[in-house]
Structure 1
Amino acid sequence: MQLVVFILAYPLLWLVSRLPFRIIYILSDGVYFLLYHIIGYRKKVVRENLALVFPDMDTNERLRIEKKFYKHMCDMFLEMAKTMGINAKEMEKRFTYTNIDVIHQLEKNEKRILLMASHYASWEWVMSLNARISLKGYAIYLKLGNKYFDKLVRDIRSKYGTTLIRTNESRKLIKQAVEDGEQFMLGIASDQSPMVSRARHWAPFMNIMVPVHIGGEELAKQHNLIPVFLKVKKLKRGHYQGTFKVLTENPKEVPDYGISEMFLSETEKLIREAPEYYFWTHKRWKHRNKVPKQFQ
């Protein structure tokens, strides 16, 4: 069945990858109408999330954000398919950086980097960064249930030279890379909800206590990776701008969980600045009623 679904879907994805952007966004408008107005894909989850984090916001304003989010989500997933057919030169025009010299200076100083990004704006096109730096690129990702789509996503995300590693392999592979003397950048997006049974730290995120992924911080401290937050701004359809912020140059000196909380704080700033570009379909706050006593 997995193969059948893939065989049916792949020709459509391939076709999208060959379409000009102006046609892609006409198609995206149609997908938005279908997903939002007809199917109502995860509309209840999105609406509940927005009500949770913006309780004092006018209902009409939350509805405006909700609709803009769905339009952006449709754009982003079609842009992901378009990645198969876009060349490096065009990608450079569509995903720019205000201060890539920050990364180049860390490269010059022979530092290893932990790039911390959020599920915000376009995290898929961030993978193109690897074509503009000399560091070897790694990115942690969650394996998809359909093995054929999993391979496709890995192929798309590795187009610019990034090596994707699964979550359960990350510690071993990064340890080996350090022992081999590699200079690398490790990319993670850890703003989504971990399994509550494995959560060792909770912190406020958008004023709600949530379990926090701390694996990135642990890797940074263990291997002296410099944590750098990537702020992504959507300029207009198909155009994004990234800005780097070094969270600390001495990760081992930061108190436990401090790096993770700095990451959440920076993500909050993005959400408050333009909430329509956050990935609201995830149930990020689903464990809010399970906060351990020591964190209450």
Structure 2
Amino acid sequence: MLGLARLPLSVLYVLGRVVYWLLAYVVRYRQRVVLQNLSNSFPEKSAAEIARLARQFYWHFAQVMMETIKLATMSAPALKERVIFRNPEVLERHFAAGRTVLGLSSHAGNWEWVLTSGAAWLSAHADGVYKPLSNPFFEHLLYQLRTRTGAGLIPMRDTLRDMLQRKGEVRVVSMLSDQAAGPEDRPFWTTFMHQEAGFYTSTERLASRFHCPVVYVSIRRLRRGYYEIILTELYDGDSPLEPNSFPITAAFVQQLERDIQLYPADYLWTHRRWKHKR
């Protein structure tokens, strides 16, 4: 792993072509799920267009894999050159006011570079909420990659405890909030990409309880190996939130759908994100 990470990204992308070929044509990694998700999300596209979009996704996925490997040797200054925060002031003004900000993102673009670049760019500490892996080797590996630029990690089950213990700390807490919430998660149901979907509402509850501003984090590829992050405030942390209403989550869904429509190949289509029904 470390040997691969020492290779230039240009060489890793050549290896990525091999990974792409294996994923798309040999292993056909979750191909049925990918094609079904794309077909349901873009009903206006022909079968040939869906197949082409699937191939573009697998190439994107292979690039993200190579870029994640490169994190093992990438310095914070090098990462800042490749990931540009277009409007960090959206976060910085809340930091100046002494607040914790919740960052909402998704498995789009290079999601593994969001937290690590945030730790390099921002004046306040960056933490990421994550779901620990059951495999000890990969859990340790990803933990090291995600924290090497100074970010912290919070196991999902410990999120509320962490917020209580560190209440009022100046930082950003990043969450990847894709849909596929089950009935036990008290989901927010809405139409998303032409399908009914249940979204997690934990961010909404945390924002209401701790009066945290919420910011949508969009990461978009500029060219191979280079990204931009654009921040959009979804909630100011002060406005009253009505019980059993989910304006933050609804705004997040709207922003996410817009990004997917603009960059459809850059979303992670391999998961059954519409598997639960109302």
Q: How far has the Cα of 1:224 moved from its partner?
A: 0.9
Aligned length: 275
One-letter amino acid matched to 2:223: K
Residue of structure 1 in register with 2:31 after alignment? 43
- Do structure 1's residue 18 and structure 2's residue 6 form an aligned pair? yes
In 1, distance between residues paired with 2:261 and 2:54? 14
Q: How far has the Cα of 1:20 moved from its partner?
A: 0.4
- Do structure 1's residue 112 and structure 2's residue 107 form an aligned pair? no
Q: How far has the Cα of 1:273 moved from its partner?
A: 0.4
For 1:129-144, what aligned pairs fall within 5 Å after superposition?
129-144=118-133
Q: How far has the Cα of 1:81 moved from its partner?
A: 1.0
Structure 2: give runs of 5+ residues left out of the alignment. none
Q: How far has the Cα of 1:75 moved from its partner?
A: 0.5
Residue of structure 1 in register with 2:163 after alignment? 174
Calculate the TM-score normalised by the size of structure 1: 0.89
From 221, 225, 230, the equivalent of 1:234 is 221
One-letter amino acid matched to 1:164: L
Contact 1:193 1:211 in 2 (8 A): yes
In 2, distance between residues paired with 1:200 and 1:269? 21
For 1:5-154, what aligned pairs fall within 5 Å after superposition?
13-127=1-115, 128-154=117-143
Contact 2:179 2:197 in 1 (8 A): no
In 1, distance between residues paired with 2:136 and 2:39? 36
One-letter amino acid matched to 2:23: L
- Do structure 1's residue 253 and structure 2's residue 240 form an aligned pair? yes
From 245, 260, 267, the equivalent of 1:271 is 260
Contact 1:217 1:257 in 2 (8 A): yes
1:239-266 per-position Cα deviation (integer Å, ceiling 9, x unaligned) = 1100111112145524421111111110
1:151-201 per-position Cα deviation (integer Å, ceiling 9, x unaligned) = 1111111112211111111101111100xx421211001113123333343
Contact 1:201 1:214 in 2 (8 A): yes
Task: Say what the alpha-carbon RMSD is for the aligned residues.
Answer: 1.3
Residue of structure 2 in register with 1:283 after alignment? 272
Structure 2 residue matching 1:19: 3-state secondary structure:
coil
Identity of aligned residues (%): 29
1:41-79 per-position Cα deviation (integer Å, ceiling 9, x unaligned) = 101100000011111212222112111100000110111
In 2, distance between residues paired with 1:200 and 1:241? 30
- Do structure 1's residue 192 and structure 2's residue 163 form an aligned pair? no
Q: How far has the Cα of 1:21 moved from its partner?
A: 1.0
Structure 1 residue matching 2:72: 3-state secondary structure:
helix
Contact 1:140 1:165 in 2 (8 A): yes
In 1, distance between residues paired with 2:77 and 2:257? 32
One-letter amino acid matched to 2:158: E
Contact 1:227 1:248 in 2 (8 A): yes
- Do structure 1's residue 209 and structure 2's residue 192 form an aligned pair? no
In 2, distance between residues paired with 1:280 and 1:189? 15
Structure 1 residue matching 2:70: 3-state secondary structure:
helix
Contact 1:138 1:164 in 2 (8 A): yes
- Do structure 1's residue 221 and structure 2's residue 208 form an aligned pair? yes
Structure 1 runs (4+) greater than 4 angstroms displaced? none
In 2, distance between residues paired with 1:160 and 1:216? 25
Structure 1: give runs of 5+ residues left out of the alignment. 1-12, 292-296
One-letter amino acid matched to 2:263: A
Residue of structure 2 in register with 1:8 after alignment? none
In 2, distance between residues paired with 1:153 and 1:195? 26
Residue of structure 2 in register with 1:163 after alignment? 152
In 1, distance between residues paired with 2:89 and 2:130? 26
